[in-house]
Chain A
Amino acid sequence: MRASLERTGGFAGMRLTSTADTDKLAPEEAKELRQLVEAADFFRLPPTIASQANQPDRFQYKLTVEDDQRTHTVMVGEAAIPPRVRPLAEWLTQYARRR
């Protein structure tokens, strides 16, 4: 399984990207990532989670998960990110910084 994040916007307007592949992660990390994707119920999320109000300087996220059969992408603004999806976004943000 591969999970990727693209974060754009924010005060600095910088792009942050990361892709984590469970085949290349340490076993514990791979397990952790799978659990986060499952906890987010990722494949059932709508492709776009609309924000009611566009708050200035907030981040925009594009999250993609691919496994054997399927690929799903979700676009969401920081203020509208569902609580169950937030840990996955945070994990991938940390992963981006580590490289």
Chain B
Amino acid sequence: MSAISQGAFDGGSGHSCNSGNPHCTHHRHAICFIIPPIMLRNIAEKGDEEQRTLAFHTLAASERFRGQREVLSALGIVKSLGSPGEKLRTIYDAKRGTTLPGRLVRSEGKKATKDQAVNEAYDGSGATYDFYSEVYERNSIDDRGFRLDSTVHYDRDYDNAFWNGTQMVYGDGDGQIFQRFTRSIDVIAHELTHGVTEFEAGLEYQDQPGALNESFSDVFGSLVKQWVRKETAEQANWIIGEGLFTSRVKGIGIRSMKAPGTAYDDPLLGQDPQPAHMKDYYGGAEDNGGVHINSGIPNRAFYLAATAIGGYAWEKAGKIWYIALRDRLRSTAQFVDAAKVTMAVAGDLFGLKSKEMKAVRGAWQKVGVIK
């Protein structure tokens, strides 16, 4: 074990910070922590959920720059890793507890179970894998076949879904307001995209970089749904989390990319708080500085760009956003940086005077991010 660990950390110096890593200028990022291999092994074996995640982030980042992916599985943090070009899904059942990942209930290639949540998590993560692979030639979350683990039936009455750094987790909802979170394929693709963002731009989960992080998850969440349904930008409804509310709630879904702030208006829940324009930007501290609130602004910018370009949104607008996320955005990017970068990518791909470039510029202007 120690030989493997040392191999990944400069002969045992234990410093996982690579000078070639652009994230290293930001001390908050896990990669810049100095953790001796022996400690990482202990964390992997005995740490609590958050410590294991941190250890994973450190190892994943190290692995990313040095190509020593076997370290992850050797430490038992990721149980197995896929081979290039392979889709590897594993679904677990937390049985209404909070221990992750829970009991294995379906692995790749196994037939459907009687549990709808299990099958939805399996099919939804499969469609998301296929989308990234076929549309953008990306092999899973890390572009190197990262295994797609999902846990369903997490906790009791749990009104949420999340990405914990290594896997997707879904609650069943409380039955009063929310139904189970696997019902919407865009929720599944949203969570998986958090993994992609973590491996690429590494957008900080706070304030504007956090709202961009959220927005990229909604953008590709919605695109996976559109791709599965073969809908054009005009045909799509651009709703995130459609079908999650029970029939008692007055609302079509959680967010609207087309018209942020209009997804629900309910006596108990209140009104959808998302702004559609910079003039209504939320400046408070809640929700990590409003990451799920202010994402309405870049979400609408994407919708406007995609509909101005026309056709299937994943082909051009989606490609511009994907390359921006993969190659161009920094972890501290603000909305204005996202505007500049997507315009630059549109210019590179389609020409500075192209319809696509004008559509992207017009979109960011309409939401008040640039003049």
Contact = CB atoms under 8 A, between A and B. Distances in A.
Given A54-B205, A57-B162, A97-B176, A11 B241 contact: yes
A60 B194 contact: no
Contact of A14 (B181, B191, B269): B269
Given A12-B254, A60-B287, A55 B164 contact: yes
Contacts of B244: 12
B293 A13 contact: yes
Interface in B119-166: 157, 159-165
Nearest to B268: A99
A54 B174 CA distance: 25
Q: Interface size bucket, B side?
A: 35 or more
Contacts of A71: none
Nearest to B181: A11
B286 A60 contact: yes
A11 B160 contact: yes
B187 A11 contact: yes
Contacts of A79: 49-50, 53, 164
A10 B273 CA distance: 14
Nearest to B214: A56
Residue among A10, A56, A57, A58 facing the most chain B CB atoms (10 A cut-off):
A56
A8 interface: yes
Residue among A14, A15, A58, A60 facing the most chain B CB atoms (10 A cut-off):
A14
B112 to A, nearest CB: 25
Contacts of B51: 52
Given A11-B160, A11-B241, A97-B174, A56 B254 contact: no
A13 B49 contact: no
A55 B53 contact: yes
Contact of B162 (A11, A13, A51, A97): A11
Contacts of A9: 286-288, 291-292
B190 interface: yes
Contacts of B214: 56
A88 B308 CA distance: 50
B262 to A, nearest CB: 15
B360 interface: no
Contacts of A51: 50
Residue among A60, A79, A80 facing the most chain B CB atoms (10 A cut-off):
A79
Nearest to A56: B194
B333 interface: no
A80 B54 CA distance: 12
The 7 nearest A-B residue pairs measured at CB? A13-B292, A57-B162, A54-B205, A8-B286, A56-B194, A9-B287, A10-B160
Given A53-B54, A79-B50, 6 more contacts: A11-B254, A12-B241, A13-B287, A13-B291, A52-B53, A53-B57
Interface of A: 8-15, 51-60, 79-80, 94, 97
30 contacts: A9-B286, A9-B292, A10-B159, A10-B160, A10-B162, A11-B162, A11-B241, A12-B159, A12-B244, A13-B254, A13-B273, A13-B292, A13-B293, A52-B53, A52-B54, A53-B53, A54-B206, A55-B164, A55-B205, A56-B163, A56-B213, A56-B214, A57-B163, A57-B194, A58-B160, A59-B160, A60-B286, A60-B287, A60-B288, A79-B164
